[in-house]
Amino acid sequence: MSNIDWQKYREEEFPVLSTMTFLDAACVSFAPQRAVRAVKAFADMTARQDEANSSAHHIAMDSLRNKAYVEAQKLFNADPEEIALIESTSHGLNIAAAGIELNDGDSIITTNLEFIQVALPWCLMRKTKNIDIRVCRTPDNRFRAADFAKLADKTTKILVMSTVEWCNGWASDLAEIGEWCQKNGIMFVVDAVQQMGVTKIDTKACHIDLLAAGGHKWMNSPYGTGVLYVNKNSLDKIKQSYGGYLNTTVPEGGWGAYWEKQDSQAVFDWTFPNTARKYEIGGTANYAGAIALGESLGLVNEIGIENIQEHVWELGEYCMDQIESIGGTLITHRDPGHRAGIIIARLYDDIDVDRKILKDMHARNIFIAQRFTDNVGGFRISCNWFNNKEDIDNMIAGMKEVIALIGRKPDYKG
């Protein structure tokens, strides 16, 4: 790992962390100071006009989104035409559901550990189409291509899942699963919100048809803008979701000149470049969100995703060791390469006792969460790149104090 001054980044970019023990980026994280400064500068820009006219002012605001595209492309090792900006993970998954054609009798596969949004658009689709949603369950709550193969047949059109499961922290092998999907003609759609900016996703090294990830969690950009990746070889397989003028082919001279043309028409045979941006809404955008996301993506790329990955894995190992040292039981698997930043653990067999511990931790200004799906889950501890071992030590010290007040050792065995 390169010689990264993690403490310097923490102090300069996230001063709020000196006021608390924050281990809940998997819920929503804080913006770095560079993003805050950029958003404040944009707010000032909206209160004045530096350009020659209002049209130029509008175009200047549009251009401020460009950094987010460039930095996302770099992070995912994607081509320029494969990256778009979206409102959220939910937005991106709905683009997939609306764009990938399913007919009566078709099936999709997902897992039993997903956050509700992953399956929701297709659940809604069942009201109008006779599609089958097949849920993959495994004895150890790990998911591999062989597990999905048991559920697939000639009707299976889509596999939709999280790259990192929110309630046990399992990080699937995207290369293995993507290769299986590609071989079997199944569209591979992923929710990467719990991985983007934590561990590496190389879109050249693994086959993914569509990836959606909001910026508000591990990317530290809680402004309502995320990233959509669409494999360039899948652009013709996913129907366009919106018809926005900013998605169309830019007219000669640019939009400023076009708006001044006396003979311009609204009814026209509009064309759209065949890039991921055709899936954007294509109107006046969330400029503040795109600006902030560009800065946060830039920060991750400045540090280096490989450096972040190594740091987060090391911190996660330390967290798991400390949890077990006080009698806790890990839900997250230790498999090398199959984790990101989420560590899940339980202390007591009585869930009400664990809930009380959570409230006590929050009262002590120690912020973790508690998450479950299909009876899998527990305390969710987020080890982001701005965290350190002292954060883990503070959490463990708090848990020890609460355990002492309970008066009996942790007894959860799974």
Residue 210: phi and psi, rounded to 5, are -145, 130
Give the whole-angstrom CA distance, residue 411 versus residue 327: 8
pLDDT, one tens digit per residue, over 260-317 is: 899 999 999 999 999 999 999 999 999 999 999 999 999 999 999 999 999 999 999 9
Give the whole-angstrom CA distance, residue 360 versus residue 116: 27
pLDDT, one tens digit per residue, over 358-409 is: 999 999 999 999 999 999 999 999 999 999 999 999 999 999 999 999 999 9
Q: Please give the angle made by the CA atoms of 305, 311 and 316, to the nearest 5 degrees.
A: 120
For residues 274 and 7, is the Cβ–Cβ distance under 8 A?
Answer: no
Give the whole-angstrom CA distance, residue 354 versus residue 349: 8
Give the whole-angstrom CA distance, residue 101 versus residue 187: 11
pLDDT given for residue 1 in this prediction: 57
Secondary structure of 271-296 in HEC code, one letter for each residue = CCCCCHHHHCCCCCCCHHHHHHHHHH
Residue from 357, 364, 356 nearest 394 by CA: 364
Q: Please give the angle made by the CA atoms of 26, 179 and 141, to the nearest 5 degrees.
A: 45
Starting at the edge strand that comes first in sequence, how are the strands of the sheet with 342-346 ordered?
329-330, 342-346, 376-382, 369-373
What residues of the chain score a pLDDT lower than 70? Answer: 1
Residue 162: phi and psi, rounded to 5, are -85, 145
Q: How far apart are the first and last CA of the chain?
A: 35
Taken in order 274, 277, 279, 285, is the CA torsion positive or negative? negative
Domains of the chain, each with CATH number or no CATH: 6-30+305-406 (3.90.1150.10), 39-300 (3.40.640.10)
Half-sphere exposure of 104 (CA within 13 A, CB side): 4
DSSP 8-class letter at 155: T
Q: Please give the angle made by the CA atoms of 342, 345 and 349, to the nearest 5 degrees.
A: 155
Stated length of the chain: 414
Burial readout 204-232 (b: 16 or more C-beta within 10 A, e: otherwise): eebbbbbbbbbbbbbbbbbbbbbbbbbbb
In angstroms, what CA-CA distances link 260 with 54, 253, 336, 398?
A: 13, 11, 60, 65
Residue from 37, 12, 76, 19 nearest 386 by CA: 12
pLDDT given for residue 241 in this prediction: 86
Residue 14: phi and psi, rounded to 5, are -135, 65
For residues 330 and 345, is the Cβ–Cβ distance under 8 A?
Answer: yes
Neighbours of 398 (CB within 10 A): 20
CA 365 from chain centre, in angstroms, equals: 26
**Total-model pTM:** 0.97
Give the whole-angstrom CA distance, residue 334 versus residue 346: 15
pLDDT given for residue 19 in this prediction: 98
CA 390 from chain centre, in angstroms, equals: 26
Output the six-digit token pair for 314.
Answer: 């090391």
